[in-house]
Amino acid sequence: MARYEELMGKVAVITGAGRRAGLGEAMAKRLAAEGAKVVITDLGQAQGELLPANAIGGSDEMQQIVDDIHAAGGEAAAFVCNVLNPEDVKAAVDFAITTFGGLDIWVNNAGVGYLMKPILEMEPAEWDTVLNVNLRGTFYGIKYAAAQMVAQGRGGRIINIGSQASKSAFAHASAYTTSKHGMVGLTRVAAQELGEHAINVNTICPNHVTTGLGAWQNSHFSQVTGKGDDKYMQDMKARIPLGRPGLQEDVAKACVFLCSDEAAYITGESMNVSGGEEYH
């Protein structure tokens, strides 16, 4: 399956990658299939009511994904990391170094996409949770991954996982949309600052993908719009020129491309992976 030989032996860390059928799992497995050594991070256990067990990657799930990669002949390890804690993020960098010998790729995938309410109903703690995980966590990832890449002196790739909401606004998703718009600005600044160190920084902006989180979003917004599940999904497909929602593999393909030599002259971009639904 490997297509990019230059990724052989590279060391990649992916945050928020411990959930089955998630974008993080798909990217981890594809990078491993390309020969990269992958560190899968996630919270490992619930962190209060706003970060419940059904919304995070548990330790057992993380290890299962690692085991899958090993069974397929790849190299991977799991590390519990709360992206809201800068010491945890620095520790994830150190773990990659001690386990696999360095750091070449960092994917900021951890995010909260399930606290969706109208502005008038959004609680400050909910707003803060979304902004902190999606944006502050990405800032920490860029900061500490880039510091290691600069110290190594061989460049690197930082990939931020945005959303169609990085480009377009969605009712009942004020915090999520704001955080993903902010990620675009952060990506552009980081690309400007880190280019002299041969570090490329880009964002991937998928449209809807029916992960575990995506399935919840389908159910939630079908109720909010009053359409019902079938009508909601029919309307979604109708507005996508390629006629289907995104797949986890679509994002994984974009990720390995941006990590490859084929994308060596691409930085500061927020690349739509939306089947033509998003043009901005």
Active-site residues: which are they?
A: 176, 180
Helices in the chain by DSSP H: which ranges? 23-33, 59-71, 86-100, 124-131, 137-152, 174-194, 212-225, 229-238, 248-259
Nearest to 164 by CA among 266, 52, 277, 58: 277
Helices in 122-279 by DSSP H: which ranges? 124-131, 137-152, 174-194, 212-225, 229-238, 248-259
Enclosing H/E stretch for 20: none
Helix (H, G, I), strand (E, B) or coil at 41: strand
How far is Cα of residue 54 from the mean position of the Cα atoms in its chain?
18
CA distance 79 to 85: 14
